[in-house]
């Protein structure tokens, strides 16, 4: 019981139970800031069942030391193996646990062994745990890649079983019994096969992220086990009888398989149903959490401010937008012109409470020129919601050689010539900005509203032979060149 031994020693050495009421020593404080990870089996970086890994994480010692200790302690009476099997049976398996992150405080209650773990974690006091766990973490990263690269799991398992075999032989020998190779070898084969087989079984548990089964291990494990069993059964018989026995075993296996197949299938389908139900429940919980965080909060706000129609409309609109982006998964478009425009229009709506109808056709990734376009569109829309009357419509069309934007309102409109010079909004933020980026801006007064038209030539992303590509948009110009602004009307308007 090597591992327990060290824990016990730490307990008996008795720096005492480090309760919160205990003396606030410096080392005590240092380890309490980085709490011990709970005693759980780790999926990540495991070899057989993750017991050694979990133990090493919990104790803050290198996993190799734990493994060596387990193998060595298996020699006298297989004690290490007993410990291993016991821990395997009782330790809870978890996915990846970041040792740096404190895990949930509820987990130690779930299994008896884990509660043991929590006891040891409160009783053992090590001054250097904090620093060693950091170093350990770094070691783990390299260890994991190393573990995945090779099959040294086989090596460790073989070592373990060899140690067991030696132990068994010694024990039997000391007990005065004969050691028969034809008994030992099949047993060893069965044990190795079972370990291979079960280690894969452990991976395919019913819930959670499932790792692909390494079929070769299953096959090897099964083969070894069957070989071992057959070897045990046919001990002392000759080769001709061996075939008969093998046939009988095969027949029995087939019979069992046929009988149990429907039953297993039903179990399996039940399991799938249960799994699906659980996934649905999780999804529902997610949605419920989202609704609670967003919709219910907004509804509460709306009820409290029900007298203020403008605020209510603004809150409702903002909530609607947020819910839409959640439902239609608009996060997937992050980094595109469409997403940037949606965000900009949402901002305008929030600031002024006037709904803006945004339509975008086509899309392309953002760059600095499109960023300028978005800012100009935002400014134009901002003007529209402030000075004009709704409905305000913004339409952006991403074409092969240009992005065109139209912002339309239904207000009385404004005449650029009558706008005082100190109002830099239209002249600078819209027209000037567009021209600096090689685009054009046009403001049209209509009988029942104003329309701002913006055009920005863009490089064709797939066909570089497009004529518009002759005007490199990556060229930041302060003055519009005649070639880049083909619209004479804009020149007039701007000057």
Partner 1 sequence: MTDPRTIRIVIVDDHHMFRTGVRAELTSLSATPRNGAFTLEIAGEAGAVESAVQVIKEQQPDVVLLDVHLPGGDGHGGADVIRACTAVQSQAGVPVRFLALSVSDAAEDVIAVIRAGARGYVTKTINAEELLTAIGRVADGDAVFSPRLAGFVLDAFGAAAGEVAEIDEELDRLSAREREVMRLIARGYQYKEVAKELFISVKTVETHVSSVLRKLQLSSRHELTAWAMGRRLL
Q: Residues in the site for partner 1, rule: CB under 8 A?
A: 324, 328, 355, 357, 359-362, 391-393, 395, 397-400, 406, 408, 446, 448, 451
Q: How far is the CB of 392 from partner 1 (least distance, A)?
A: 8
**Would you say 11 or 395 has its CB closer to partner 1?**
395
* CA-wise closest residue to 326 among 355, 362, 286, 360: 286
Determine how many CB atoms are found less than 10 A away from the CB of residue 161: 19
CB of 327 to partner 1, least distance (A): 8
Nearer to partner 1, 158 or 402 (CB): 402
Q: Whose Cβ is closer to partner 1: residue 22's or residue 399's?
A: 399
- Exposed (0-12), middle (13-18) or buried (19+): which is 455, by Cβ within 10 Å? buried
**Rounded CA separation 309/194 (Å):** 71
Cβ distance to partner 1 smaller for residue 137 or 446: 446
Nearest CA-CA partner of 122 in 25, 215, 7: 7
Phi, psi of 400, deg, nearest 5:
-70, -30
Query: In a 10 Å sphere around its CB, with 0-12 CB exposed, 13-18 middle and 19+ buried, how is residue 192 labelled?
Result: buried
Smallest distance from partner 1 to CB 141, Å: 43
Phi, psi of 404 (to 5 degrees): -115, 140
User: Encoding tokens for residue 221?
Assistant: 């494990």
3-state secondary structure of 41: strand
Nearer of residues 232 and 313 to partner 1, judged by Cβ: 313
CB of 491 to partner 1, least distance (A): 23
CB of 277 to partner 1, least distance (A): 20
H/E segment holding residue 301: helix 297-304
Give the Cα separation of 479 and 365 in Å (integer): 26
CB of 360 to partner 1, least distance (A): 7
Render 44-82 in DSSP notation, one character per residue: TT-SSSSHHHHHHHHHTS-HHHHHHHHHHHTTTTTHHHH
Q: How far is the CB of 400 from partner 1 (least distance, A)?
A: 5
In the complex with partner 1, the residue whose CB is nearer, 183 or 318, is 318
Task: Give least dist CB 410 to partner 1, A.
Answer: 9
CB nearer to partner 1: pick between 4 and 328: 328
Between 300 and 359, name the residue whose CB sits nearer to partner 1: 359
Smallest distance, partner 1 to C-beta of residue 398, A: 6
Please give the C-alpha separations between residue 111 and each of 38, 364, 425, 427, 444, in angstroms, as whole numbers.
11, 53, 67, 70, 73
**Minimum CB distance to partner 1 smaller for 253 or for 359:** 359
Spatial separation of the C-alpha atoms in residues 202 and 266, rounded to whole Å: 21
Please identify which residue in the block is written with the tokens 């399991």. 271
Q: Which of 446, 449, 383 is nearest to 410 (CA)?
A: 449
């Amino acid at each position: 019981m090597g591992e327990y031994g060290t824990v016990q020693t730490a307990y008996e050495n008795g720096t005492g139970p480090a309760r919160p009421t205990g003396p606030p020593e410096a080392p005590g404080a240092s380890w309490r800031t980085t709490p011990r990870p709970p005693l759980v089996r780790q999926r990540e970086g495991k070899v057989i069942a993750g017991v050694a890994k979990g133990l090493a994480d919990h104790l803050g010692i290198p996993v190799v030391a734990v493994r060596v200790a387990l193998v060595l302690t298996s020699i006298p009476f297989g004690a290490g193996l007993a410990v291993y099997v016991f821990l395997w049976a009782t330790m809870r398996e978890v996915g990846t646990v970041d040792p740096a992150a404190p895990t949930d405080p509820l987990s130690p209650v779930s299994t008896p062994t884990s509660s043991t773990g929590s006891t040891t974690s409160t009783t053992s006091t090590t001054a250097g745990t904090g620093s060693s766990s950091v170093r350990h973490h770094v070691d783990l990263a390299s260890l994991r890649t190393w573990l995945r690269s090779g099959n040294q799991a086989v090596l460790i398992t073989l070592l373990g079983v060899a140690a067991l075999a030696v132990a068994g032989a010694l024990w039997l020998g000391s007990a005065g019994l004969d050691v028969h190779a034809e008994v030992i070898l099949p047993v060893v084969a069965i044990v190795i096969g079972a370990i291979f087989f079960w280690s894969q079984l452990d991976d395919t548990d019913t819930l959670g992220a499932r790792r692909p089964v390494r079929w070769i291990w299953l096959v090897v494990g099964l083969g070894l086990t069957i070989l071992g069993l057959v070897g045990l059964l046919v001990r002392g018989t000759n080769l001709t009888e061996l075939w008969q026995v093998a046939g009988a075993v095969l027949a029995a296996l087939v019979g069992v398989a046929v009988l149990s197949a429907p039953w297993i299938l039903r179990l399996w389908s039940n399991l799938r149903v249960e799994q699906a139900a659980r996934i649905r429940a999780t999804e529902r919980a997610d949605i419920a959490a989202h609704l609670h965080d967003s919709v219910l909060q907004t509804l509460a706000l709306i009820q409290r401010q029900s007298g203020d129609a403008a605020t209510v409309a603004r809150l409702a609109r903002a909530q609607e937008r947020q819910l839409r982006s959640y439902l239609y998964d608009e996060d997937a478009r992050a980094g595109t012109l469409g997403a940037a425009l949606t965000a900009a229009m949402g901002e305008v709506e929030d600031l002024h409470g006037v709904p803006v109808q945004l339509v975008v056709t086509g899309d392309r990734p953002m760059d600095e020129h499109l960023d300028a376009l978005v800012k100009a569109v935002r400014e134009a829309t901002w003007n529209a919601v402030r000075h004009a009357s709704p409905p305000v419509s913004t339409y952006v069309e991403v074409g092969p050689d240009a992005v065109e934007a139209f912002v339309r309102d239904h207000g009385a409109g404004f005449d650029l010539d009558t706008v005082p010079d100190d109002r830099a909004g239209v002249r600078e933020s819209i027209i000037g900005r567009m021209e600096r980026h090689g685009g054009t801006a046009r403001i049209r007064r209509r009988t029942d509203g104003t329309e701002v038209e913006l055009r920005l030539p863009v490089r064709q992303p797939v066909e570089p032979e497009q004529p518009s590509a002759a005007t490199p948009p990556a060229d930041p110009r302060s003055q519009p060149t005649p070639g880049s602004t083909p619209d004479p009307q804009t020149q007039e308007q701007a000057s």
